[in-house]
Structure 1
Amino acid sequence: MMRKEDTKEVRVPLKLMRDAVRVAMQLAGQNTTDFDKKTLKMVSPRLMSILPEQEDDSLINLLSPSLFSLHDEGQGLEKLLSLPQMLKSLDNRDQEAWLDFIVEASGVSDNLDKAEKTIADNKDKEMRGENGVPLYFTKENATEIIGDVEKKKIEVFEDLDKSYTKEQKDDLDTKGYAFLDKKQLNTVYGKGSPYGDVKTLKKFRRLRDDPERFIETDIRALAEAEKFKARRHDIVGSPFVLTPLTFASAPLTNTFVVLSPIVLSPITLSPAVLGPIILSPWVFVPLVLSPRVLSPLILNPLIFSPIILSPLVLHPLILVPGIFNPLILSPLVLSPLILSPQVFTPLILSPFALNPLILTPMVGSPLILSPFVLSPIILSPQALFAVVLSPYALSPLVESKLIAAEVVLSPSWLS
């Protein structure tokens, strides 16, 4: 009952607005059948959209045109004012002239030339001293400053660079390393070279039989060395009940939490890094002032667990169903919701980026004052949904039906 009352309170202003629009449409003699099931867009224009409006019959547009779209599908004004449609009406010569005008008017070419010149000048200036002398070694100034020995070292690597075969160059590009042949080994470690060393030359010649095996052996030995073993304090099968976690950053850093439900245990001032939580449901667990980085939730239901002032970075939520988990003042970056249905999970003052919804249906989960970018909604139906004062960009709606939704004062770009 409490949840139902809270939901009604959240929907009051949107319901008043929807009722006002319904009355206005009725007075204008327009059809209002199934009005409550339709999506209402109000003062939310779409600019340079990449996908057409979905299900036009179930959409009510008020001062929310789709302008300069990058496709030529759509209907009505959206299709008429789309860029492909406008360019089709011009011949090839006019199209080229129009594109040249856009490039020149925007100053793209001039700015590119200036930027390239500025970068080159700054780089050259940084690499030279007060008298214009290069701060890096060349063959000429190395001879003057250090002597003939350093000049010979530079000449050795010049000769080596010229002797690389095509296979060695390919290995350098793909693997990052290549093996020298016998002639190249003599160039570097043979007689007459400043790096000359008979023992090193013999050792590298022996390694040529199977060099990959020796590299693998060395890497394995390093991995098994005692000083590279890091202790990990994992938490497995240890429930937390009525145990507030405050200033608990040390236990939550580089720690796996598995099969450890958390109940009535608020997490406060406890940042977490590299702390995945798996199969550990949260019930009445507010997360306050506790940013999380690289700490995904997997198969981890959330119930009445608000997230407040706690940014999430590289924090995917996979198979994480949730009920009443509002996010307030908690930015999200690279934290997608995948197969994680949500009920009554609003985002308030929580901007997000690179945060797609994938196969994640949601009910009663509005976005309020939460701008977002590069966060498409994919195969994720949204019911009782609202986007209020939340402009967005590069975030198309892909095969995701909106039911009883409102988009208010939320213009979009490239969506």
Structure 2
Amino acid sequence: MEKYIADEELKEMLQQKASNLSDEEKMMMVPIDLIRQAAKIGLGLAGHNTTGMDEKTLKLISPRFMSVLPDNTEVKNKTMDVLSPSLFSLHNSGSELEKATSLRSLLGSGMTAQDFQNFLDLLVEATGVAEAVEDAEQKLIDAQRQKDDAMGRGPDGQPLYFTKENITERFPSEAKKIELFEELDKTYSLEQLKDMNQTGYTVLTPKQMQMIYGKKSPFKNPKLLKTYNNMTRAQIHRAIHSTIRNVADEKLKFEVRQNDIVLSPVIKTALINDPKTASQALVLSPAVMVALVNSPAVFGSVILSPWLFVPLILSPRILSPVILDPFMFVPIILSPVALDPVVLSPGIFNPFVLSPLVMCPFVLSPQVMTPLILSPFALTPLILTPLVLSPIILSPFVLSPQVLSPQYISGLFLSPYALSPAFESTGALFTVFGSPSWLMIPEAPTEPACTASEGIQ
């Protein structure tokens, strides 16, 4: 990429980024590079010209269907297509294959231009394109009308447009900002003008920053001025790119702390793709018949808010403790849970399916009919938490001791475990099958003697 970058500082940033790749980024580059190299070798063996392939976009097994326009020639020259044809196109142009498989060719030569136009009209109506275009057109009209009315209208009804004169007349305070930018325009160097023409922005000099953010400026910001004066040009570029990346990843939109829900019961509600609401703390607010689907929660504490018929599907929860919160019929499916202690919260029929648990201690929270199926867990001790009819199936666990937490009419099936002793947790009718243990503490045996009437361990 370096030979396409003219700015030396951007080259330096690229080299620094390439030398500081994380292990995850390096691992992601391996399969991508492997696919490109395999495609290059395969095309070379098949007799295709692979010159300059490293500089082209590789489309692999990515066909286009019902394209409206043929590919732009310039874009096509920079793209290497492998098993990525354009099929059933709505035009009759492009490559030979694209022409041969176009809808006009497939529907026969007897179709007239009018027939084909009617067919296109039918597709447009059936797919809702016409409504989408009308909505977009109406939004453009509304936006233009708002823009025209921003300054009001003259005596003849014509919209007034922003000029320095009418802004000075209507908004005197804004006139100073216009004058400031006029002065700034006169101070741009040739290099800065070149930057703006090429990238759309440039970095101000210290003198220009003083002009914009100094004491006499309407945009006065001493803190920002001090920060920028202590940054090099390369650091400013890096900060801009980082901000753009964070906006694209929606990191800057995430709010760690949401408004708590207090004394507001939630009944017959479905939270789908709604992490913001799911992350709000529930305090003295029971939830009944509330489905959480694809709604992860962070800091979504549940305190004195019983749950009844609240399935969690594809809704991970992190740092969301459950305190004094009885819950019944709360299946947790494909929803990993981490750093969520459960304290004084008994439960009935709350199966965990494909939902790993990490650092989620259960304290004084008896459970009935709460099986763990394909849900490994770690650092999740049971303390004063008896279990009834709550088998652990295909769920390995580690560092999860049981303290005064007997299990009754339950079992451990095909679930290896390590460093998870049981202290004073002898139950009854408990079965262990295909569940080897490792590194257990001899002073705390996990296989206490029992009689046939008590069960098997």
What is the TM-score when the length of structure 1 is the normalising length? 0.44
Larger Rg: 2
Higher RCO, 1 vs 2 (CA within 8 Å, ≥6 residues apart): 1
